[in-house]
Amino acid sequence: MSTPPFPKEFQILPPVSNDVQFTSQEPSNALTPQHHHPASILIFRFSPDSKRNIGCHGVLRPTQDLHTYLDTQLSTPKLQRIHSRLWLAGLPRPARPLHRQRLLQRTINITENPNEHLVWKEDQIYLKPLPSWLLDHAFWEAYLCDPACASSSASNHSSTSSPDSTCALHASACGFLLSWTWLISHESDLHIAHAHHLVPTHLTYARWVALTNAFLDSLSPTDISPRYHYGELRLPRLSLIYWLAPSAATPHDLAFGYMRRSTWYQDFFARNFAWLAVVFVYVTVVLGAMQVGLATEQLQGDAAFQRACYGVAVLAMVGVAGMVAAMVMVWMGLFAFHFLTTVDFKRREERKRGGEAVDRATGQRKIQEV
């Protein structure tokens, strides 16, 4: 299916729209149709290793490149690369509704990265808000539907087409909208969504039920992106998948895991080496017990116990030295990685800005000559 996934009469639009209709020098990308459009004017580049051309200012303007904007808002390339291993991070079942997330004592964190939507860790879950333009039938027809996609499935779009093709965007949009039908299944869920600013303010439960019923009636499993064959995904396991399958990961993924968090070294070691404190406690208890045993008459002359104490003591010293050395090596590796990637990024940005400056100067000279 490459048509809007719900009839026009079920679309949900703001009661009054004073949006400015943007235009572009590129007619194919211009936001000129008289219907709802993305409210975001600028979005900052969120991924240092992004291959998207966002320009020297580090921002993407939907008015100039709407297709790339929709790609950043809907596509999940990081999950597509490891789709065959997603069963390690989550089950192929719908996500829990919002009221269940609250019952599980999970904090709802807003993310605008679709790769992080429905990803959870410990007592937190990351959710991408539902944009109002995804509830607009005319917007689907104009930008998310392509008749050429009707004969093939979403799985084929994701595997054989380019990541930002209209076919893949349609499948990702259907999957994303499906995920919100999981999250909002009761009126209490909608109240929670409004409280966390996850859905448009004009969305009512009655209209949501009408839209989701029409959407689910017209939806087929082949219409959705393979990512949404799974619901909630566990963040630590996603990072583990990337570390165990380096062919699917970028250098940044290998260094930081699936989702970039604080880059403070203190936080990094606290997250990844906290288990050493538990090991230290156990080793301390064992060594203390052996020391007490050596002070007793029954074990002072026991050769086997003496050898065991000797082995454990040596092993503890070697282990502590090895762990300290490993932490130092990890710190040095991270420092070198950050330094080299910063230098490389600086050079690439300087070349890009220099090239754009030359292009502008060349264009101005041509205009003057004319």
Binned at pLDDT 50, 70 and 90, residue 365 comes out as low
The predicted model gives 263-272 an average pLDDT of 67
| Residue 99 burial class via C-beta count within 10 angstroms: exposed 0-12, middle 13-18, buried 19 and up | middle
At residue 121, the 3 state secondary structure works out as strand
Lowest mean pLDDT of 91-105, 137-151, 307-321, name the range.
Answer: 137-151
pLDDT in tens, 183-202: 999 999 999 999 999 999 99
- Provide mean pLDDT across the span 133-148: 88
59: confidence class by pLDDT, cuts 50, 70, 90: confident
φ/ψ bin of 105: left (φ > 0), alpha (ψ from -120 to 50), beta (otherwise): left
Q: 119-121 and 124-127: which strand pairing?
A: antiparallel
Query: Mean pLDDT score of the chain, rounded to an integer?
Result: 80
Residue-wise pLDDT for 11-27, tens only, equals 888 775 544 444 443 43
Token couple for 125: 């879950």
* CB-count burial class (<10 Å; 0-12, 13-18, 19+) for 12: buried
Most confident of 96-110, 138-152, 212-226, 304-318: 96-110
C-beta atoms surrounding 123 within 10 Å: 9
State which H helix or E strand residue 127 sits in. Answer: strand 124-127
pLDDT of residue 20: 43
Determine the pLDDT at residue 163. 42
